[in-house]
Amino acid sequence: MSKPVVVLLGKILHAPKEWQDLSSIATLYEDSSKTKEELIAEFSAGGKFSEAVALFHTHSSGPGFTLSADIIDSFPATLKFICHHGAGYDMIDTDECAKRGIIVSHTPGAVDHGTADTNMFLILGALRNFNQGLNGLRRGEFASTTPLAHDPEEKILGIIGMGGIGRALKKRAEAFGMTVIYHNRKQLSDELADGAKYVTFDELISTADVISLNLPLNAGTKHIINKDTFAKMKDGVVITNTARGAVIDEAALVDALASGKVYSAGLDVFEEEPKIHPGLLENEKVMLLPHLGTHTLESRRGMELLVLDNLKSALISGKVLNITPETAHLQK
């Protein structure tokens, strides 16, 4: 029997040997399409990928980065698995995949530590006005010109989205003396919550001193932080975001910073990356990073290896290890 066809959309940078090792159980192809039309033609009848069973989908640029409904519609009936490189997967139309019976996996766990470290850096920097101090120093100013800031000790950290990253952040925050509350799609078991208190969304945004966004971007979470939610927050709240930029209405955040409702912010992600709202760039009370949450060799290799583990499991058992909620019903 011929081996199942697996197609790589993008590049593998940190686990090339392990990718090639997959050839023992699959026929491997690497996409080189320059346009969406070329990519669709490859998957269509008679195309090079017309018998594909699974995809290794990466964050690399190219026409296969965003898997919209029209691209998914071109996939052959044989294609049953998309194994995505990343915890976030908003660039894949998972609802369309579910309609087509295509299971989508992602890589939670592999990104937890790198993203949580970045998140804690942003919390500390935003609380302590470190960005103002850094910028002032480069202007020849010294510490006396930086406004007095805040310690993390005894502050309430509200985590919105208590998945693996949120739970890793909880441990780091508690080491700095913070108390953690959280809101999630559903309440965690006592074991997973590990002492963090589950609260409603409204209770979290109205009582937390620091609010950290660690939830996926979808139709229900876009602009979950907006003008109305800012109005319910404590005066002087701190906001951090290492999830996806569009979970915050950036224009509303700029206004909240200008009014003092938000004391400071720490952002690793933005609504229209790489474009950044000028009101954020101009405000020194905002810590800005260029999406560095998983920008470590360890995180990137771990993500690629987990994609390969999902692929191997899919090909051997018909099940992925890290299924997305939108396609979970397809896997018995």
Active site residues: 244, 273, 291
Burial state string for 8-29 with b = 16 or more CB within 10 A and e = fewer than 16: bbbbbebbeebbeebeeebeeb
Q: Distance between CA 113 and CA 118 in Å, rounded?
A: 9
Q: Distance between CA 327 and CA 324 in Å, rounded?
A: 6
- Token duo for residue 196: 């963090």
Say which residue the tokens 């876009």 belong to: 222
Q: Distance between CA 169 and CA 212 in Å, rounded?
A: 9
- Let me know: does 237 contact 263? Beta carbons within 8 Å: yes
- Let me know: does 284 contact 135? Beta carbons within 8 Å: yes
Report cis status (omega within 30 of 0) of the bond before 274: yes
**Secondary structure of residue 138 in the 3-state scheme:** helix
Residue 276, φ and ψ in degrees, nearest 5: -125, 135
Helix, strand, coil shares of the chain, percent, nearest 5, are 40, 20, 45
Say which residue the tokens 């979808």 belong to: 218
- Let me know: does 78 contact 53? Beta carbons within 8 Å: yes
Q: Positive or negative CA dihedral for 282, 285, 286, 292? A: positive
